[in-house]
């Protein structure tokens, strides 16, 4: 079988199998396959997530140690990864490896399930397992740097979300493998190595009837053809051996590549099984096929019978026999039987004539064939010598008979009737009561020296020995001799050794070692005692008892002479008259040494003879030498009446804690951690939480923190709008960050008061604060004239707000320095949020900027009119003009970085964290556009300049063609792995890909090293496209490849290939809906947002729109409207019918008023010129301000 034939029937087999299996699976179910497998896959990973929640701890607190928080969430991520890994390993391990199976089983699975499809599905699951392992490894590495509970929790959520996404994408492989698993479970158990009879032939010739007669199989038999559609197996016994009989589906006489899956099962069995072939023929032609056709089929499949015993079985001989055939038919049959290896057999399944004869002859033939095959094998030599039986040969003509001794011949045979016969044990048993009464005496036949010993009691055996085996008559004498010998050896010094004699040095070493061991034991006991003391209540230092004897003993143990200290202490005690008085009282001493600043009390040992009762003077002494002389609790009250009033207030304040059984207001003890009312009863697993905060609690939390008591703020509710919008957990986390800023920067609270958190990014967070010392400085350099004239800045009592950008320590120092330098260089532009000041404390860097009131882009981009859009882009392009004049690339233009106020109709550009200066050190030369100049700010396209076009311009296309040819060669060569070559010979190219997903220009996606200010203009065009389509974000891709697919879907593959040539890149695509031209921007916007159009674009009479026809076609550019019906299909976004209708109705209510036709035409024209794929043809900021859409706005 050649490769082309094999490939063709594999494809046909896969289609037939899928079409046959799906009805079997869902015949009894109303659920569609797609929905069933979607729910199956969802259950698969929901079980893992539920198991993670049940098997891992669930209690964590933000005040725990950060290492404990990290390990808590690391354990959850690791446990989830292990569960996914375990389940995927189980799936991969249960399915067989085709390369390790018998050729018959491997080929059968290839026919039924398509080997390539089968391996691809298992490979996708294996890849998913590795992806989940990598996700777990990456996020556990990130969790090691998490600095709060919130961030660790978000990393855990992201990790589990990515794992669930990976598993959700395995819907199709799991569906296919589940179908394969169920079908494999229904396949019969076929042993390829045992004795097998294989029945084959045309349909309806009696194959199933024959297997039902000779085996216990119950195969369905019907009068029509193709009743058997798969392999059926029956078993029987012959000569005490196990046999299996296989009934194959019917085969038709056509080429191999035209056979379907049912017929290919028969071909597979005949090709790979070592069996006896029974080719059934119907001579009566009741099967519907002539005898000539049956003979022709036998000749076509005869190559599959090589090295196998073959028998042609004539069935239905009760209807027609071989002798009843015509001469032509006899000739056809005899040509088939001309080969001597083919046997002719006859039977009738109806009358059961010849069935057993056919079975026996086929079995004998197969047994002889198997023995002959083994005898011709190479392994028989190692077996034959073990089964050889020696046969004696005669050496002469003498007949040698058996020799019987005479005494044996004279011995009389046993006769039961002879009275002189030998008495047997049976006779003794019958004489003594018979069976059950007589007990056999086993001792009477013992062979001993004395017959009297036969009845003696013998000891029990242990391990094959009894007591007699261990008794020696001379054992006592031998033991005494051995002891005398030992005494003599000891007396002679035989056992003395010179090594045991120690000299003085070794004895000293051993004594020192013993002392060290004892000292270590003392240190260990002391340490255990100290540990035991730490667990007990600690005695205050002033209450500890210290005596002079303890001090002198401690100093003496350390080798210090304490005699002088002891004499000095005694002299001080005598000077104060304390010696000999109040022996049982503690004596307090004070050091009078001028050099000592710490006065410690010391108890002095007293004389036993001086024992007197306490005097009157002792009553005036305070209980403790450091006890206060006045009661501080009532010292500030003044009078007795005030003290009584204070007691009443204290009793009144203690009522509320007492009502809750609290000892005081600081009592946080929980009496019952698991109350019965909370833990009893049945509650289903779900999102219901009896402890969840409702709206009332959320409002109380807002009121709790809106006063700013914790932060020390005097802000109103309007000052902290962003903070009030956050969920409770995120709001508490934001307040913790604000408190941390106070603690991290010394003197921060003296200059600023935080009132709100405006936003947070990867490298920084922005806060709203009150500048407490604004009026102490000259602010004309950073406040604009309009801001200075406002009442808020003129009156010293008014609050002045600033924006504080806290740059995290994870940012690179060079990046922080670059951002501050750029903000300082743009301080003269009123369209850019400049920097007032910046300060650093240790690793904390804070930049101070003016606060600009603004509105959230997501709240107004759907309903603003065209005039507001003009004002928006007028401010944006003015900011970009000032930035680009300084040769600065912003690199992150997006609505979040442009603060626009609907009230003032103005905006400013902010966040220069990714900005950088344009390259001044030459051009890389990889791209086909020139370096920007004054005449051409974005450079020129060298591909459009015919005079300088060279061979270098086409090398990318030629290289791409080479790669495609190499991939085709590897696909056709079975020795090489399929796919593109992994031997990458191209040089590594590094390019700046900074920016936000959805706003990156094509040159950024294509990793162009020569990027210009045109990338900012592209991002501005994407914002305008969001305004016009009322869709944000407009591009929603996960990576750069998906972003290029979105652009190719809109612009067309032809234009994207030209764009790739400009940047020396090659673009290839095999996605069907991007193989054609792009989509006209007017039609695309009309499909997305028809409410801003006063009439369809086909009715317009403006410029390039005149080419549009009513059917959605464009004369100048190919537009495949049938394949790109809406942007949701273009950008791979699910958009179901019900959601689309609701969105259409909401749009109809919000945007009932369309834009003026001329304004809309100019807006779309500006968008097209800003989003030109060729960066050298895009408008710059100054040209955009002069565009008809913006010309004259605000002037």
CATH code of residue 138: 1.20.120.1190
Q: pTM, whole model, 2 decimals?
A: 0.42
284 part of a folded domain:
yes
State the helix-helix crossing angle for 115-143 and 171-186, rounded to 10 degrees: 130
pLDDT at 863: 86
Q: Stretch 215-233: mean pLDDT, rounded?
A: 87
Same-domain pairing of 162 and 201: no
298 part of a folded domain:
yes
567 part of a folded domain:
no
Same-domain pairing of 199 and 82: no
pLDDT at 1130: 36
Q: How far apart are CA 1167 and CA 1024, in angstroms?
A: 6
pLDDT at 673: 77
Q: How far apart are CA 1006 and CA 1044, in angstroms?
A: 9
pLDDT at 1056: 87
CA 519 from centre of chain = 55
Q: What is the pLDDT of residues 52-97, one digit of tens each?
A: 999 999 999 999 999 999 999 999 999 999 999 999 999 999 999 9
173-187, 192-206, 770-784, 906-920, range with the lowest pLDDT? 770-784
DSSP letter for 1194, please. Answer: T
pLDDT at 46: 80
Q: Stretch 553-579: mean pLDDT, rounded?
A: 81
Q: Is 604 in contact with 548 (CB distance < 8 Å)?
A: yes
Closest CA to 904 of 935, 865, 929, 872: 872
DSSP 553-613: HHHHHTT---HHHHHHHHHHHHHTT-TTS-TTSPPP-----TT-------B----SS----
pLDDT at 986 over 60: no
pLDDT at 973 over 90: no
Same-domain pairing of 132 and 220: no
Structure tokens at 212: 């039902």
In 10 A of CB 1091, how many CB atoms?
Answer: 15
pLDDT at 1112: 41
Q: What is the pLDDT of residues 595-648, one digit of tens each?
A: 434 433 333 344 443 444 444 444 444 455 556 667 777 777 778 888 888 888
Higher pLDDT, 13 or 541: 541
Which SS3 state, helix, strand or coil, does residue 770 take?
Answer: strand
pLDDT above 90 covers a percentage of the chain that reads 25
Q: How far apart are CA 1026 and CA 1018, in angstroms?
A: 13
1189 part of a folded domain:
no
CATH code of residue 784: 3.30.200.20
Does the CA dihedral 938-941-942-946 come out positive or negative? negative
Higher pLDDT, 120 or 546: 120
What value does the mean pLDDT of the chain take? 77
**b/e burial code for range 292-321 (CB count within 10 A of at least 16 → b):** ebbbebbeebeebbeebbbbbbbbbbeebe
Q: Is 895 in contact with 861 (CB distance < 8 Å)?
A: yes
Of the residues 827, 851, 875, the one at which a domain ends: 851
Q: Stretch 461-488: mean pLDDT, rounded?
A: 83
Which residues, 6 or more positions from 608, have their beta carbon under 8 angstroms from its beta carbon?
583
Q: What is the pLDDT of residues 44-54, one digit of tens each?
A: 668 888 899 99
Same-domain pairing of 729 and 817: yes
Most confident of 154-163, 608-617, 1090-1099: 154-163
Does the CA dihedral 261-267-269-273 come out positive or negative? negative
At residue 373's C-alpha, the angle toward residues 368 and 375, to 5°, is 95
DSSP letter for 809, please. Answer: T
Which residues, 6 or more positions from 882, have their beta carbon under 8 angstroms from its beta carbon?
826, 829, 831, 832
pLDDT at 125: 93
Higher pLDDT, 1012 or 1191: 1012
Strand order in the sheet with 276-282: 232-238, 241-247, 195-201, 276-282, 310-315, 342-346
pLDDT at 513: 92
Q: What is the pLDDT of residues 350-390, one digit of tens each?
A: 888 999 999 999 999 999 999 888 888 777 777 777 777 77
Same-domain pairing of 117 and 256: no
Q: How far apart are CA 44 and CA 1156, in angstroms?
A: 54
User: Residue 717 — very low, low, confident or very high, per pLDDT cuts 50/70/90?
Assistant: low
pLDDT at 667: 82
pLDDT at 485: 92
737 part of a folded domain:
yes
1176 part of a folded domain:
no
432-436, 555-559, 601-605, 765-769, range with the lowest pLDDT? 601-605
In 10 A of CB 1005, how many CB atoms?
Answer: 20
Same-domain pairing of 67 and 196: no
Closest CA to 898 of 995, 833, 802, 834: 833
pLDDT at 154 over 90: yes
Q: Is 957 in contact with 1066 (CB distance < 8 Å)?
A: yes
Same-domain pairing of 195 and 123: no
Please list the active-site residues: 892
Q: What is the pLDDT of residues 794-844, one digit of tens each?
A: 555 578 888 999 888 666 778 888 888 888 888 888 889 888 888 887 777
pLDDT at 191: 93
851-860, 949-958, 1089-1098, range with the lowest pLDDT? 949-958
Same-domain pairing of 201 and 325: yes
- Contacts of 774-782 spanning 24+ positions with Cβ under 8 A: 774/800, 774/802, 775/800, 779/836, 781/827, 782/827, 782/834, 782/835, 782/836, 782/850
pLDDT at 423 over 60: yes
pLDDT at 719 over 70: no
835 part of a folded domain:
yes
Same-domain pairing of 167 and 195: no
Number of domains in the chain: 3
pLDDT at 959: 58
984 part of a folded domain:
no
DSSP letter for 1092, please. Answer: G
Same-domain pairing of 135 and 28: yes
Same-domain pairing of 172 and 196: no
User: Residue 791 — very low, low, confident or very high, per pLDDT cuts 50/70/90?
Assistant: very low
Number of residues that this document lists for the chain: 1195
Q: What is the pLDDT of residues 1151-1170, one digit of tens each?
A: 447 888 888 889 999 999 99
Of the residues 352, 374, 396, the one at which a domain ends: 374
Same-domain pairing of 151 and 300: no
In 10 A of CB 812, how many CB atoms?
Answer: 9
Query: Phi and psi at residue 814, in whole multiples of 5°?
Result: -65, -35
CATH code of residue 203: 3.40.50.300
Closest CA to 832 of 883, 789, 792, 867: 883
Q: Stretch 255-264: mean pLDDT, rounded?
A: 88
Structural domain of 62: 3-183
pLDDT at 22: 34
Of the residues 794, 827, 851, the one at which a domain ends: 851
Which SS3 state, helix, strand or coil, does residue 828 take?
Answer: coil
């Amino acid at each position: 079988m050649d490769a082309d034939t094999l490939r063709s029937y594999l494809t046909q087999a896969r289609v037939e199998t899928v079409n046959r299996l799906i009805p079997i699976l869902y015949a009894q179910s109303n659920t569609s396959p797609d929905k069933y497998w979607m729910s199956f896959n969802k259950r698969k990973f929901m079980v893992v997530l539920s198991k993670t929640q049940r098997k891992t701890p669930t209690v964590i607190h933000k005040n725990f140690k950060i290492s404990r928080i990290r390990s808590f969430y690391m354990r959850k991520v690791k446990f989830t990864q292990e569960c996914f890994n375990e389940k995927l390993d189980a799936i991969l391990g249960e399915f067989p490896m085709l390369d390790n199976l018998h050729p018959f089983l491997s080929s059968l699975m290839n026919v039924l399930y398509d080997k390539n499809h089968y391996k691809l599905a298992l490979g996708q699951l294996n890849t998913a397992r590795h992806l989940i392992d990598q996700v777990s490894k990456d996020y556990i590495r990130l969790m090691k740097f998490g600095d709060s509970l919130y961030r660790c929790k978000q990393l855990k959520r992201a990790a589990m979300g990515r794992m669930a996404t990976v598993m959700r994408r395995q819907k199709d492989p799991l569906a296919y493998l589940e179908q394969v698993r169920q079908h494999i479970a229904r396949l019969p158990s076929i042993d390829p190595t045992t004795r097998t009879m294989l029945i084959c032939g045309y349909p309806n010739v009696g194959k199933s009837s024959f297997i039902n007669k000779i085996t216990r199989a119950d195969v369905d038999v019907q009068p029509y053809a193709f009743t058997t559609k798969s392999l059926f197996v029956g078993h029987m016994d012959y000569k005490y051996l196990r046999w299996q009989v296989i009934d194959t589906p019917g085969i038709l006489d056509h080429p191999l590549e035209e056979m379907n899956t049912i017929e290919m099962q028969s071909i597979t069995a005949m090709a790979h099984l070592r069996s006896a072939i029974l080719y059934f023929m119907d001579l009566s032609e009741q099967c519907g096929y002539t005898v000539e056709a049956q003979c022709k089929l036998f000749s076509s499949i005869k190559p599959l019978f090589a090295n196998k015993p073959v028998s042609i079985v004539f069935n239905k001989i009760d209807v027609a026999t071989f002798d009843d055939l015509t001469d032509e038919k006899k000739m056809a049959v005899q040509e088939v039987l001309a080969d001597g290896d083919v046997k002719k057999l006859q039977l009738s399944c109806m009358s059961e004539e010849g069935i057993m004869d056919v079975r026996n002859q086929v079995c004998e033939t197969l047994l002889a064939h198997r023995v002959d095959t083994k005898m011709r094998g190479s392994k028989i030599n190692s077996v034959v010598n073990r089964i050889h039986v020696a046969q004696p040969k005669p050496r002469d003509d003498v007949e040698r008979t058996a020799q019987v001794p005479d005494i044996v011949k004279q011995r009389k045979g046993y006769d039961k009737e002879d009275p002189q016969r030998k008495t047997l044990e049976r006779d003794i048993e019958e004489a003594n009561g018979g069976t059950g009464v007589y007990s056999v005496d086993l001792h009477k036949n013992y062979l001993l020296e004395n017959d009297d010993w036969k009845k003696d009691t013998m000891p029990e055996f242990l391990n094959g020995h009894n007591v007699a085996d261990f008794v020696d008559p001379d054992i006592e004498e031998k033991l005494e001799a051995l002891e005398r010998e030992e005494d003599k050896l000891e007396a002679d010094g035989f056992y003395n050794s010179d090594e045991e004699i120690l000299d003085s040095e070794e004895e000293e070493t051993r004594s020192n070692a013993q002392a060290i061991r004892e000292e270590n034991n003392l240190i260990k006991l002391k340490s255990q005692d100290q540990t035991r003391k730490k667990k007990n209540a600690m005695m205050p230092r002033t209450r500890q008892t210290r005596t002079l004897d303890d001090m002198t003993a401690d100093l003496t143990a350390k080798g210090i002479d304490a005699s002088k200290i002891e004499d000095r202490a005694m002299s001080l005690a005598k000077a104060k008259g304390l010696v000999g008085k109040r022996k049982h009282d503690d004596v307090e001493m004070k050091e009078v040494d001028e050099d000592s600043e710490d006065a410690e009390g010391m108890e002095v040992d007293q004389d036993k003879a001086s024992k007197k009762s306490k005097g009157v003077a002792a009553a005036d002494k305070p209980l403790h030498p450091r006890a206060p002389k006045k009661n501080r609790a009532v010292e500030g009250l003044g009078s007795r009446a005030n003290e009584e009033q204070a007691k009443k207030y204290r009793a009144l304040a203690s009522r509320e804690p007492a009502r809750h059984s609290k000892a005081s207001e600081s009592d946080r003890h929980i009496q019952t951690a698991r109350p019965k009312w909370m833990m009893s009863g049945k509650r289903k697993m779900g999102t219901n939480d009896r402890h969840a905060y409702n709206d009332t609690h959320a409002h109380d939390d807002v009121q709790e923190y809106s006063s700013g008591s914790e932060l020390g703020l005097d802000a109103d509710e309007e000052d902290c709008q962003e903070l009030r919008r956050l969920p409770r957990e995120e709001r508490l986390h934001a307040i913790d960050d604000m408190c941390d800023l106070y603690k991290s920067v010394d003197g921060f609270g003296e200059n600023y008061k935080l009132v709100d958190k405006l936003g947070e990014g990867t490298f920084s967070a922005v806060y709203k604060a009150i500048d407490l010392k604004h009026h102490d400085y000259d602010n004309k350099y950073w406040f604009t004239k309009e801001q200075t004239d406002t009442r808020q800045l003129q009156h010293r009592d008014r609050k002045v707000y600033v924006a504080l950008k806290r740059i995290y320590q994870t940012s690179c120092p060079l990046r922080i320095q670059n951002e501050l330098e750029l903000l300082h260089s743009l301080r003269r532009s009123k369209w850019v949020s400049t920097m007032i000041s910046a300060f650093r404390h240790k690793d904390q860097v804070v930049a101070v900027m003016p606060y600009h009131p603004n509105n959230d882009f997501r709240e107004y981009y759907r309903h603003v009119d065209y005039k507001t859009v003009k004002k928006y882009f007028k401010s944006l392009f003015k900011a970009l003009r000032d930035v680009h004049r300084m040769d600065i690339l912003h690199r992150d233009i997006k609505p979040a970085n442009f603060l626009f106020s609907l009230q003032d109709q103005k905006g400013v550009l902010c966040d220069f964290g990714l900005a950088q200066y344009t390259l001044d050190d030459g051009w890389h030369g990889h791209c086909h556009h020139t370096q920007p100049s004054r005449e051409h700010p974005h450079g020129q396209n060298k591909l459009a300049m015919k005079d300088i076009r060279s061979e270098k311009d086409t090398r990318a296309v030629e290289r791409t063609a080479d790669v495609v040819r190499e991939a085709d060669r590897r696909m056709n060569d079975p020795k090489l792995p399929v796919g593109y070559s992994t031997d990458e010979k191209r040089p590594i190219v590094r390019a700046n890909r900074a920016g936000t997903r959805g706003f990156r220009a094509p040159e950024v996606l294509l990793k162009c090293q020569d990027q210009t200010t045109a990338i900012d203009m592209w991002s501005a065009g994407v914002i305008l496209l969001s305004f016009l389509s009322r869709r944000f974000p407009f591009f929603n891709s996960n990576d750069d490849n998906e972003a290029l697919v979105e652009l190719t879907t809109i612009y067309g593959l032809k234009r994207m290939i030209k764009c790739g040539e400009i940047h020396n890149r090659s673009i290839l695509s095999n996605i069907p809906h991007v193989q054609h031209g792009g989509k006209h921007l007017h039609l695309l916007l009309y499909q997305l947002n028809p409410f801003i159009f006063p009439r369809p674009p086909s009715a317009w009479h403006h410029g390039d729109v005149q080419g549009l026809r009513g059917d959605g076609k464009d004369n100048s550019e190919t537009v495949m409207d049938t394949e790109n019906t809406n942007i949701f299909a273009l950008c791979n976004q699910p958009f179901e019918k019900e959601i689309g209708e609701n969105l259409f109705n909401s749009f109809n209510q919000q945007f009932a008023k369309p834009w003026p036709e001329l304004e809309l035409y100019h807006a779309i024209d500006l968008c097209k010129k800003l989003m030109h794929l060729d960066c050298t043809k895009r408008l710059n900021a100054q040209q955009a301000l002069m565009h008809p859409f913006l010309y004259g706005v605000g002037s």
